[in-house]
Amino acid sequence: MANSTVSPIVADVLRCFGQTQDVTSASFPTPGFSGAIVVRVNGPVGEFCLRGWPPDELPERRIRGLHRLLQHIHQQGVGCVSVPVRSEMGDTLVRRRGRCWQLEPWLPGAADFWSNPSESRLRSAARCLAEWHRATKLFVPRQSESEWFACRVQCESPAVRERLQRVRDLQHGGIHRLRASLPTSGRSEFHDIGRHILELFPHAASAIESELIAAKHFAFDLQPCLRDIWHDHILFTGDEVTGLIDASACRYENVATDLARLFGSLIEDEPDGWEIALDEYQRHSPLTTEELALVQTLDRSAVLLAGITWLRRSVIENKPVANDERVVLRMQTIATRLERLMRTL
């Protein structure tokens, strides 16, 4: 759209960053699922991403701490991250219309691994993630940021603790309540797949619970991790990764969380692909035996729980995801992986 048709709220926020006069167009890409507003802004000095955080989703000090972390990662030579720019008031965050907003350079590339997979691309993704982790391990947070971004030595994995509690809650009534909340009339592919996932859950839950209990007895080094790095958040130009985007879920955790999330998304259950990805990652950032085992546990527990998360968003939280083709496709993938998991247990 032309500069004269840029929405008032976008123009107002851009004015805080001194960008209004330079904007030649602003467009809204395909929306994500978080409730954030993302605007692609074009101007003579390049392309930018304007992000409006969901209202009251995260404390402002956590977002500012994340901005400092991204700046640190970039200074460590990791070029696939985008660092928020400062407003005319010298801050990386401005508040307008009930939201916090940030502006950052738009990273090049496309999230197209599924349509164009290759070993070289998979190795590039593993290498980039290893570099990201090596950089965050050196980050020194301020006191106000340490509850999210501090490094911790030999601690329980928060992901293991949280997932174990979720599995237990679902086994003790959660699955029954979720099944009872599903609509009983009208056909919906989303809800049909959801019913299938609910039928499979009890057959796999006990084995996954045992794996999580075993992992809970181990201590791991924790550091800032992305925690939501998946196919749509990794951009490729040719065979090289040119962007790791959306670090909004970043918090301290063991690196196995990111490995399970990314590689489970990119290559699902391909043994050769997992071997290649983990081999390339460890060329740059070695893993302990316990961490390698944790990667598998977190991937398998994610397969068990991911479909339940989407069902909760639809029938408990009343979010309009059931008719989204992207969500239906993800539910199909989850169901297929859960069926494979059942055969391995």
What is the tens place of the pLDDT at every residue in 216-257? 999 999 999 999 999 999 999 999 999 999 999 999 999 999
Q: What's the pTM?
A: 0.92
Buried b vs exposed e over 254-265: b needs ≥16 C-beta within 10 Å?
bbbbbbbbbbbb
- Is there a domain that residue 112 lies in? no
Q: β-pairing, 46-52 with 37-43?
A: antiparallel
CATH number at residue 46: 3.30.200.20
Which region among 21-35, 46-60, 185-199, 316-330 has the lowest average model confidence (pLDDT)? Answer: 21-35
Per-residue pLDDT at 132: 98
CA 229 to chain centre: 4
Q: Which of 105, 136, 154 is a domain's end point?
A: 105
Answer whether residue 26 shows pLDDT above 80.
no
Cα–Cα separations (whole angstroms), residue 92 to 67, 89, 252: 7, 9, 22
Q: Are 231 and 317 within one domain?
A: yes
Answer whether residue 45 shows pLDDT above 80.
no
Helix%, strand%, coil% for the chain, nearest 5: 55, 15, 30
Residues 6+ apart with CB under 8 A from 62: 145, 148
Per-residue pLDDT at 42: 83
pLDDT tens for each residue of 188-214: 899 999 999 999 999 999 999 999 999
| pLDDT classification of 4: cutoffs 50, 70, 90 | very low
Q: Are 46 and 76 within one domain?
A: yes
Q: Are 150 and 20 within one domain?
A: no
Q: Are 99 and 241 within one domain?
A: no
Per-residue pLDDT at 29: 66
Per-residue pLDDT at 98: 86
Q: Which of 75, 105, 135 is a domain's end point?
A: 105
- CB count, 10 Å around CB of 324? 17
At 103, phi and psi to the nearest 5? -125, 135
Per-residue pLDDT at 200: 95
- Is there a domain that residue 276 lies in? yes
- Is there a domain that residue 113 lies in? no
Q: Which of 105, 136, 171 is a domain's end point?
A: 105
d(Cα 313, Cα 311) in Å, to the nearest integer? 5
- Is there a domain that residue 149 lies in? yes
Q: Are 277 and 321 within one domain?
A: yes
Answer whether residue 2 shows pLDDT above 60.
no
CATH number at residue 277: 3.90.1200.10
Answer whether residue 31 shows pLDDT above 60.
no
- Average pLDDT in the 82-105 region? 92
> Could you give the number of structural domains in the chain?
2
Q: Are 97 and 163 within one domain?
A: no
Q: Are 219 and 264 within one domain?
A: yes
Range of the domain at 27: 3-105
pLDDT tens for each residue of 125-178: 999 999 999 999 999 999 999 999 999 999 999 999 999 999 999 999 999 999
Computed over every residue of the chain, the mean pLDDT equals 92
Answer whether residue 32 shows pLDDT above 90.
no
d(Cα 219, Cα 194) in Å, to the nearest integer? 35
Question: Inter-axis angle of helices 189-216 and 158-169, to 10 degrees?
Answer: 120
Q: Are 84 and 174 within one domain?
A: no
- Is there a domain that residue 307 lies in? yes
Q: Which residue has the higher pLDDT, 251 or 47?
A: 251
- Is there a domain that residue 340 lies in? yes
- Average pLDDT in the 285-296 region? 97
- Is there a domain that residue 97 lies in? yes
